[in-house]
Amino acid sequence: MNSADDNLYRNSPRAWSLLGRVWVLGLLLLLSGAQVLAGEANPWVRLEADGLHDPKGGAIRDLQQPGEALAPLPRDVVGNMVRWVEALRTGVITPRTNILPDTKIQVLDLDIIYPNTGNYNFVRFPHKAHTEWLDCSNCHDAIFAKKYRGTTISMANILEGRQCGQCHGAVSFPLTECNRCHSVDSQNFAGKFGPQPVAK
Amino acid sequence: MRFVRLSTLCLLLVLCVPQAEAEYADVVLNRTAEAAGVRPVIYPHWFHRMRFRCKVCHSELGFVMRAGANKIDMAGIMEGKFCGMCHNGEIAWNVEHCDRCHSGLPGLKSGIRGGDSAGGPGYW
C-alpha cells in the first residue's frame, strides 16, 4: 500500500464508513446464517432458555427436553413442529385414550363440507382426526350444536379464540394454516355440502 | 459516526430476531403458586399429548379448555383430583417432586404461551 492509499484509509470518513458497512453486513449475514442453520437442525428451544422455566430450578435436570422428545415425530412447519394427527396414525406415538376403565371411546368418520366461505375455499371438517384426540362432548354441544349448521361459525369468532379457535391457535395447528381447513376448491366444486361419508 | 449508527441498527436487528420462546401451547399457572411461595407451574401440552389424548384430561378429568378457568389446588391434587389423577406415583410420578411442575421464572402471568406466528387468540 503506498502512502497515498494509506492516507486515504486513515483520514477519509467515507472510506471508514464503507469499511464499517462491509464489516457489519458480514457479521449480520454470519449471525443470521447461524440462526437459520441452528433452527433447521433442531427448531425446539431448550427448557432452560425458553423464557418460562427458571434455569436455577431443579426441573431442568429432571424434565425431558422438547427437542429430544419431538425430533423423531413427523415434522411440521408450525406449532410444536409436529404433525400430531400423522404421529398418532402412524403409531410413532400411542397416547392413552382413557384412564377410567368405563370410558366409552368413540371415533366418528364423517366429513362436513361448509359453504359460505366468502370468496375463499370451502371448508372440509374431518370428524375422524378430531375424535381420535377428543371426546364428542368437548365440542357437542358445548361449542357446536350437533345439528349441521346449528351453529353459525365465523372467522371473527375463531380469531378471538372461540369455536375452532378454542384449540387452533392455542394447542393444535395455528390459524396461519388457512388451507388445512379451507381445503375444498370452491371454483370447481361439484359435490354436495353438509355431512357426508369420507371420500376415499 | 455513520459506522456507529449502522452498527447500532444492525445490533437492534439481530436482537429483534425472536430469541427464547416457550414451546407452543405451554401453559403458565400462577393463580396461587407464587402467592403461596412456590414457583409458577409450567404445564407442557406437547409432553402430555405424546402420552395421553386430549380427551383424557379434557373429558374424563374435566379440565376446562381455558387457561385460568380451572381452580386447581394442591389439596385437590393430593386427593387425586386434577393433576393428581395421574401424578400419584402409579401412572406418573407423585407430588413429592414439587420442582418439576413449579418450575417457572418469578413473575410469570397465567395463560397459554408458545411463540407461534399466530400469537395466540385474544380470548385466551
Same domain membership, residue A113 and residue A15: no
Instruction: Report, as an integer, the average pLDDT of B91-97.
Output: 96
Chain B hits for A50, Cβ within 8 Å: 20-23, 26
Would the pLDDT of B17 be above 50? no
Same domain membership, residue A171 and residue A88: yes
Tell me which long-range contacts A184-193 makes (C-beta under 8 A, separation of at least 24): A184/A113, A184/A121, A184/A122, A184/A123, A184/A124, A185/A121, A185/A122, A186/A117, A186/A119, A186/A120, A186/A121, A186/A122, A189/A122, A191/A113, A192/A113, A193/A113, A193/A114, A193/A115, A193/A122
The minimum CA-CA distance between B55 and chain A, rounded to whole Å, is 5
Same domain membership, residue A55 and residue A79: no
Same domain membership, residue A116 and residue A20: no
Residue type, A129: A
In CATH, what is the architecture of B21-112? Alpha-Beta Complex (3.90)
Of the pLDDT bands very low, low, confident and very high (cuts 50, 70, 90), residue B119 is: very low
**For A140-149, A158-167, B84-93, which range has the lowest pLDDT when averaged over its residues?**
A158-167
Same domain membership, residue A139 and residue A169: yes
Q: Which of B23, B50, B55 sits opposite A135 (nearest CB)?
A: B55
Whether A67 is in a domain gets the answer no
Chain B hits for A95, Cβ within 8 Å: 49-53
Measured in whole angstroms, the distance separating CA A159 from the mean position of its chain's CA atoms is 15
Number of independent structural domains in chain A: 2
Would the pLDDT of B76 be above 50? yes
The minimum CA-CA distance between B72 and chain A, rounded to whole Å, is 19
Q: Of B91 and A35, which is predicted with more confidence? A: B91
Mutation site, B55, B57, B61, B86, interface A, largest A CB count within 10 A? B55
Q: Where are the beta strands (DSSP E) in chain B?
A: 26-29, 41-44, 111-112
Same domain membership, residue A190 and residue A113: yes
Sheet containing strand B111-112, edge to edge, reads B41-44, B26-29, B111-112
Pick the last residue of a domain from A24, A40, A62: A62
Same domain membership, residue A138 and residue A88: yes
Of the pLDDT bands very low, low, confident and very high (cuts 50, 70, 90), residue A25 is: low
Most confident residue range from A50-59, A84-93, B103-112: A84-93
Chain B hits for A161, Cβ within 8 Å: 120-124
Of the pLDDT bands very low, low, confident and very high (cuts 50, 70, 90), residue A1 is: very low
- Please report the pLDDT score of residue A161 as a whole number: 87
- Of the candidates A46, A48, A67, A45, the one whose C-alpha atom is nearest the C-alpha of residue A57 is A48
Of the pLDDT bands very low, low, confident and very high (cuts 50, 70, 90), residue A55 is: very high
Identify the residue whose cell numbers are 384430561: B57
Determine, for residues A99 and B56 on separate chains, whether the beta-carbon distance falls below 8 Å.
Answer: yes
Would the pLDDT of A91 be above 90? yes
| pLDDT tens by residue, B21-69 | 899 999 999 999 999 999 999 999 999 999 999 999 999 999 999 888 8
Would the pLDDT of A9 be above 60? no
Same domain membership, residue A185 and residue A99: yes
Question: Which residues does A68 contact at the CB level (< 8 Å), separation at least 6?
Answer: none
Pick the last residue of a domain from A11, A34, A62: A62
Range of the domain at A131: 75-200
Asked if residues B87 and B94 have their Cβ atoms less than 8 Å apart, the reply is yes
Same domain membership, residue A91 and residue A57: no
Q: How many CB atoms lie within 10 A of CB A83?
A: 19
Q: Which of A54, A78, A98 sits opposite B39 (nearest CB)?
A: A54
User: What is the rounded CA–CA span in Å between residue B30 and residue B36?
Assistant: 10
CATH number of the structural domain spanning residue A81 = 3.90.10.10
Same domain membership, residue A128 and residue A39: no
Q: Which of A16, A21, A64 sits opposite B47 (nearest CB)?
A: A64
Chain A, nearest residue to B49 by Cα = A95
- Please report the pLDDT score of residue B86 as a whole number: 97
Asked if residues A113 and A196 have their Cβ atoms less than 8 Å apart, the reply is yes
- Please report the pLDDT score of residue A134 as a whole number: 98
Same domain membership, residue A113 and residue A160: yes
Q: Of A7 and A192, which is predicted with more confidence? A: A192
Determine, for residues A159 and B121 on separate chains, whether the beta-carbon distance falls below 8 Å.
Answer: yes
Whether A68 is in a domain gets the answer no
Q: What are the residues facing B104 on neighbouring strands? A: A53
A83 touching B, CB under 8 A? Answer: no
Same domain membership, residue A110 and residue A57: no
Would the pLDDT of B118 be above 50? no
Whether A127 is in a domain gets the answer yes
- Please report the pLDDT score of residue B120 as a whole number: 47
Instruction: Report, as an integer, the average pLDDT of A93-120.
Output: 96
